[in-house]
Amino acid sequence: MPPELADSHVSPAARAAHLWGRLHGFGPVVGLLLLCLVGTLLNPDFATLDNTLNVLQRTAFIGIIAVGMCFVIISGGIDLSVGSMAALIAGCVIMVMNKAGAGMGAGPTVVALGMLVALLLGAVFGLIHGLLITKGRIEPFIVTLGTLGIFRAYLTYFADGGALTLDNALADLYSPVYYGSLLGVPFPVWMLVAVAIAGGFILNRTAYGRYVQAIGSNEQVARYAAVDVDRVKILTYMLLGLCVGIATLLYVPRLGSASPTTGLLWELEAIASVIVGGTALRGGAGSVAGTVVGAILLSVISNILNLTSIISVYLNAAVQGFVIIIVAFLQRGRR
């Protein structure tokens, strides 16, 4: 977060600049609102409750991962492996649940076990990343580029190139975690809200959150200020791993399967959400709320494209690209 200008005795020019600066901060929100307006004009079904919930529900995976990614990027790091990690965790969860289900019958304990495995694996993978980056002194780009290949290759190996599929009885038992809802709002959306609130709290209201921002803005100074830089960084990657675990435990019940195409390019979507949401790629400052807005914005684009057929289907990716650049332009000016 940029320091707030609290002084009320400023010149009109400074006030205008201040207002403009605040507007920039709202760039993603403005972009999202404009996009929603366009969507409603193109197809009235866009603004229905069902469609809104569909979009939010499918944003949940990327949104939750992006919140974790937000911390990593603010600390000056990057993680390219989240998509592959999600795929591998999904595969492992399915294998463990199928084994356990065969052993002790399909029951809620098996589902709980699967969820626990997802969280545990996420944290462990994050820990490995953190250790390699801090103690091993390898660039995060390289470490996670390496694990990107490793995670996906192992999933492909476990799946024998095909798909790992959850047993039917277990899939039925597990499916409410994705398809179920509370007060009319699906569980994944609640989870996204909870993760976002927790993330915002940790980033802005805890010492750890301050350390993350300090390290991203100047690692050397943070070290001099007696911040345990290595520990904070390792925790950041573990936090992201945990977020991937949460996203995966919501993903598995959706299709009940994991294949080598699971989570493909999620890393880029998560990183784009963070940056579109107003976080600087070089680290130091950023916003969890902006990140979530960024993630929603990305899925709204493809939603609108699916709801209309005004442009060639071959150009879908181009539209996504144009919108990302325009929104980034709207919220520039913080460097």
Partner 1 sequence: MSTFNRRRALGVLSLAAMLSMTFMATPASAQKKEVLGVAIPAATHSFTAGIVYWANEAKKELEKANPNLQVIVKTAANASEQANQLQDLVTVNKITSLVVFPFESAALTKPVAQVKAKGIYVTVVDRGLTDTSAQDAYVSGDNTAFGKIPAEYIAKALSGKGNIVALRGIPTTLDNERMDAFNAVLKNHPDIKLLDAKHANWNRDDAFKVTQDFLTRFKQIDAIWAADDDMAVGVLKAIEQAKRKDIKLVFGGAGAKGAIKTLIDGSNPLIQANVSYSPRFMYDAIKLTAEARLKDQKLPATTIIPSVLITKANAKDFYFPNSPF
252 Cβ neighbours under 8 A, 6+ residues apart: 90, 93, 94, 114, 118, 166, 174, 258
Of the candidates 272, 264, 299, 242, which has an alpha carbon nearest to the alpha carbon of residue 83?
264
Can you tell me the distance from the alpha carbon of 329 to that of 94, in angstroms, rounded to the nearest whole number?
42
Give whichever of 74 and 304 is closer to partner 1, judged by the CB atom.
304
Shortest CB 188 distance to partner 1, Å? 12
C-beta separation of 40 from 55 below 8 A:
no
Which position among 95, 116, 145, 307 is part of the footprint of partner 1 (CB under 8 A)? Answer: 307
Burial of 159 (0-12, 13-18, 19+ CB in 10 A): buried
Token output for 207: 């010492």
Give whichever of 144 and 303 is closer to partner 1, judged by the CB atom.
303
Q: How many residues does the chain have?
A: 335
In the region spanning residues 244 to 283, those forming contacts with partner 1, defined by CB under 8 A, are 254-255, 257, 259-262, 264
State yes or no: residue 51 binds partner 1 (CB under 8 A). Answer: yes
Shortest CB 251 distance to partner 1, Å? 8
Mask 4-43, x = binds partner 1 (CB under 8 A)?
A: ---------------------------------------x
State yes or no: residue 172 binds partner 1 (CB under 8 A). Answer: no
State yes or no: residue 47 binds partner 1 (CB under 8 A). Answer: no
State yes or no: residue 188 binds partner 1 (CB under 8 A). Answer: no
Which residue's structure tokens are 């911040």? Answer: 227
DSSP letter string, 243-263: HHHHHHHHHHHHHSEE-TTTT
How many other CB atoms sit within 10 Å of the CB of residue 220? 9
State yes or no: residue 48 binds partner 1 (CB under 8 A). Answer: yes
Mask 227-246, x = binds partner 1 (CB under 8 A)?
A: --------------------
How many other CB atoms sit within 10 Å of the CB of residue 187? 18
In the three-class reduction of DSSP (H, G, I as helix; E, B as strand; rest coil), residue 17 is classed as helix
Shortest CB 204 distance to partner 1, Å? 33
Shortest CB 135 distance to partner 1, Å? 31
Write phi, then psi, for 116 (nearest 5 degrees).
-65, -45
Give whichever of 213 and 262 is closer to partner 1, judged by the CB atom.
262
In the three-class reduction of DSSP (H, G, I as helix; E, B as strand; rest coil), residue 212 is classed as helix
In the three-class reduction of DSSP (H, G, I as helix; E, B as strand; rest coil), residue 185 is classed as strand
From residue 109, alpha-carbon distances to 37, 101, 103, 182 in Å are: 45, 9, 12, 22
Give whichever of 225 and 268 is closer to partner 1, judged by the CB atom.
268
Shortest CB 154 distance to partner 1, Å? 13
State yes or no: residue 313 binds partner 1 (CB under 8 A). Answer: yes
Mask 115-154, x = binds partner 1 (CB under 8 A)?
A: ----------------------------------------
Give whichever of 209 and 256 is closer to partner 1, judged by the CB atom.
256
State yes or no: residue 316 binds partner 1 (CB under 8 A). Answer: yes
Residues at the interface with partner 1 (CB under 8 A): 43, 45, 48, 50-51, 54, 58, 156, 159-163, 165, 179, 254-255, 257, 259-262, 264, 302-303, 306-307, 309, 313-314, 316
